[in-house]
Amino acid sequence: MSIEIKVPVLPESVTDATLVAWHKKAGDRVSRDENLVDLETDKVVLEVPAPADGVLQEIKVEDGATVTAGDVLAVLAEGEGAADAGQDEQDSEETEEAAAVEKPQADQGRPAKAGKTSPAVRRLLEEHDLEAAMVTGSGKDGRITKADVMNFLKGDERGEVTPGDHAPTVDVEEAVVGLEREEQRVPMTRLRARIAERMVDAQHTAAMLTTFNEVDLTEVMALRSRYKDSFEKKHGVRLGFMSFFAKAAVEGLKKFPVVNASVEDNDIVYHNYYDIGIAVSSQRGLMVPVLRDVDQMSFARFEEELSAMAKKAQDGTIGMDDLTGGTFTITNGGIFGSMMSTPILNPPQSAILGMHNIQQRPMVIDGEIRVRPMMYLAVTYDHRIIDGREAVQFLVTIKEQLEDPGRLLLQV
């Protein structure tokens, strides 16, 4: 029986998706729930699993195409087709192994020929545009294994000459003369294009202004150093700096509700909940997963939720629901070494907090110069609804909470 594999229902407000890459080719055997293809939307990558065991009979949409919900991506032959394909591959490998046994052992260690590779190895060679003669086989009679191909690729990535390769002798002067300036043009990913669109919209729509302050993190660092081991032992998660900043931000948002508000047309929408977006970097670009009801979280719960969200962003399994609905955002350029920046708003939010690098700097305290771990803080805000006084006092509130972390426990 043939089954049509279709584009699933896309997240709300997403009209189409881009087919990023097939993980199988026509004729390949697949297992139920195995990921067949990745679809990229504005924010997330959706995986399309196989609905049943079978053979991928036909691929109807190629990489890079734009698709919408319900479009047919491929046709799967269910049932016996899968068994036959699997048996054919097994028979092929058994035949090749039998043939390899009949060959003399003297061939072992020589570059293998294409006929002495299994279907799985041939697929791997094809995927990386390699010839079998380029790889030295470690199996019987020089037979290439998947491990041989992977080891060859690792050596190639490091620029090393792998056994079986023969590096040609090149005249240095000739090589230099032959160098040419090149350019590479690649289309933006949907995520990068969406980020660009939102950043430009924010600058064109909001009246953005940034105010700065600095915070002495001596007490936070001492508290963290004193309890980090027992905290991790009890809760199974590390005690980071972000939980302190998120909790301090919530106290500031409670005092100045307009900073937690958003703009919709000519209305200001005030939120009595605190859903904080935390900007994280992933291989696909910047993402801002949202942690809900941060005011109700313990430090341990916050760190657990943040760690889980960051892992989902890195793995590409983050969902649209994880990225929408925040009321305020925190971004930490300090992890990349940034000393100061002016973060851009995440519409429709009205403010964003920027953290930066912690530096030991001389500070005058009680008339004496002392070295302190200092961080510059920045708050970019929408001046249409937030006055400078409110933005400055909001940032001062965060500073006060962090310089005296006991305030976070007493909420004063």
**Pairwise CA distance, residues 71 & 10, whole Å:** 11
Strand 45-49 relative to strand 290-291, pairing: unpaired
Give the DSSP H or E segment for 74. strand 72-78
Give the DSSP H or E segment for 92. helix 80-102
For 306, the 3-state DSSP assignment is helix
From the number of C-beta atoms within 10 Å of its C-beta (0-12, 13-18, 19+), residue 165 rates as middle
DSSP assignment of 2-60 equals EEEEEPPPPPTT---EEEEEESS-TT-EE-TT-EEEEEE-SS-EEEEE-SSSEEEEEE-
Q: Catalytic annotation on 383?
A: yes
Q: For the beta carbon of residue 288, count every other beta carbon within 10 angstroms.
A: 22
**Pairwise CA distance, residues 143 & 110, whole Å:** 9
Which tokens in the block code for residue 407?
């305030």
Catalytic residue selected from 201, 293, 315, 387: 387
Catalytic residue selected from 71, 165, 383, 404: 383
Q: Catalytic annotation on 128?
A: no
Is the distance from CB of 378 to CB of 341 less than 8 angstroms? yes
- The answer to whether the Cα torsion of 196, 198, 201, 203 is positive or negative is negative
**Pairwise CA distance, residues 68 & 346, whole Å:** 27
Q: Which residues are catalytic?
A: 383, 387
